[in-house]
Structure 1
C-alpha cells in the first residue's frame, strides 16, 4: 500500500521554508564578506531536497546549489559574489530556495532571499523598503508558527509533553539575533556583516514573544 498519510498537508508551494539569514549584504571593500552562508533548516519528520535559483547567476557562485536535508537537520549553502564592481552597487538580486520531498518533483515550498552589494561596510544598508520588509517578515514567521502548531502539535506533545523542536530552534535563533551587535557599533569583534539593524532586532523580539506564548501554552 502506498504511503499517502501526510499528503493532504503537503500542498504545493505552501510548506514553510526556514532559512537564515533572510537577506545578504556583500561589501566591496571587505573581502571576507564576499563569501556568505545561508543555513537551511528542516524541522520536519521527512527528508527534503532543495534547489537554489538566482536572478543573476553570472554574478554569484553557489556551492552545492542542489542537495538534501535530513529530517530535523540543517545544511549550509555557501554563496560567493564573483563580480564585485561599482556598476553593481545597490542592485538587489534574489535567490530562491525551493524544497520538495525526495520522492517528488513538485516544489512544496519556496523562500526568497535578497542579496545586495554595497561599496563599504560602513555604509548603511538600503532603507527604501524597511517597513514593508519587516511587515512581510513578521507575517511569514507568524504563518510558519501557526503551521507548526496545527500540523505537528499533536505529535510533539505525545512524544515529549513539551514544546516542539521547531519552537525551541526558532527561539534559539531569535535569542542569537538579539545578542548580535547592532548595526553601527564600532567596538566589536563580530564581523560587520553579522551586525543587525534595529528593525531586524525588533522582529526577532516580536517572534520571541510569540514563541514564549506558544511554550507557555504547551
Structure 2
C-alpha cells in the first residue's frame, strides 16, 4: 500500500489551502473580503466543506463544493461584524475534504482569522521606525542653552512594485502546467513518459502555486 492509499485509509490526506491565515483590518474596507484557494492535486475529485468557530461573524460564499482532479477553487470569506469589540480576537476556520460520494473525512486543515484595528501602509512610518539623534560625547561635555535637539528621523520602507514580477508569473504558469500533466503510470495519456509526474511532484507544484498566489495577492 503506497503513502497515498495509507493516508486515505487513515483519514489524514494532506489538505492544501492558501493562505494559511486571514487578517482583516477595521480601517481597510478592501480587506473585509478575502479569498481562500483550495487545491486538489490528486487524480480523484474531492468534496470540501468550510467550518468556522464563529459563524455569525463571517459569510462564506460556497462553503461546500467539489474540486475536480488537479484543479483548484476559490472560496470568498467576508467579515460581517467589523467592530472594536472584535478587534484582536482570533477565530478559526476548518477546511475538511472527503471523497466525492463518501461521508468519511479524508483530511482537514485549520487556519486562523483575526481582526486588527489598523493596517500599516507602505511608505509610512510606524512608531518602531522613528529614531532620535543622540548627542555626541563632545556635545555632552560642552552643551549650552543654545543647543537645539535634533529632529526625529523617520525611516520608511521602500514602496513595493506595482505588480508581480515576470519571474513570479512564469513560476505560476509552470506550476499550473505541471498540475495539468498526467500522473505517472497513466496509460491513457498520449504524452511522452517523461512528461508524466508523480503525486509528490504535483503536490510540490500545488504548494509553489499557492505561494505565488499569496505573493500576487499581497502586491
| Same fold by TM-score greater than 0.5 | yes
Q: Which has the higher helix share?
A: 1
Q: Is the 8 A contact 2:93 2:113 kept in 1?
A: yes
Q: Is the 8 A contact 1:48 1:68 kept in 2?
A: yes
Alignment correspondent of 2:74: 76
SS at match of 2:38: strand
Please give the alpha-carbon distance, in whole angstroms, between the structure 1 residues aligned to 2:95 and 2:109: 5
Please give the alpha-carbon distance, in whole angstroms, between the structure 1 residues aligned to 2:75 and 2:208: 22
1:39-50 to 2 correspondences below 5 Å: 39-50=37-48
Q: Unpaired runs of 5+ in structure 1? A: 1-5, 125-152, 181-189, 196-218
SS at match of 1:11: helix
SS at match of 1:10: helix
Alignment correspondent of 1:86: 84
Please give the alpha-carbon distance, in whole angstroms, between the structure 1 residues aligned to 2:8 and 2:185: 16
Q: Is the 8 A contact 2:92 2:112 kept in 1?
A: yes
1:25-63 per-residue CA deviation (whole Å, 9 max, x = no partner) reads 000000010001000000000000011100000000000
SS at match of 2:105: coil
Alignment correspondent of 1:166: 203
Alignment correspondent of 1:112: 110
Given the two structures, how large is their TM-score scaled by the length of structure 1? 0.61
Please give the alpha-carbon distance, in whole angstroms, between the structure 1 residues aligned to 2:43 and 2:77: 27
RMSD: 2.9
Q: Unpaired runs of 5+ in structure 2? A: 127-182, 187-191
Distance change in 2, residues 1:117/1:29 (3 Å) = same
> Which segment drifts farther, 64-73 or 154-163?
154-163
Distance change in 2, residues 1:9/1:119 (3 Å) = closer
Q: Is the 8 A contact 1:24 1:36 kept in 2?
A: yes
Q: Is the 8 A contact 2:46 2:66 kept in 1?
A: yes
Q: Shift of residue 13 of structure 1?
A: 3.0
Match of 2:62 among 64, 74, 78: 64
Please give the alpha-carbon distance, in whole angstroms, between the structure 2 residues aligned to 1:172 and 1:90: 30
Q: Is the 8 A contact 2:98 2:105 kept in 1?
A: yes
Given the two structures, how large is their TM-score scaled by the length of structure 2? 0.60
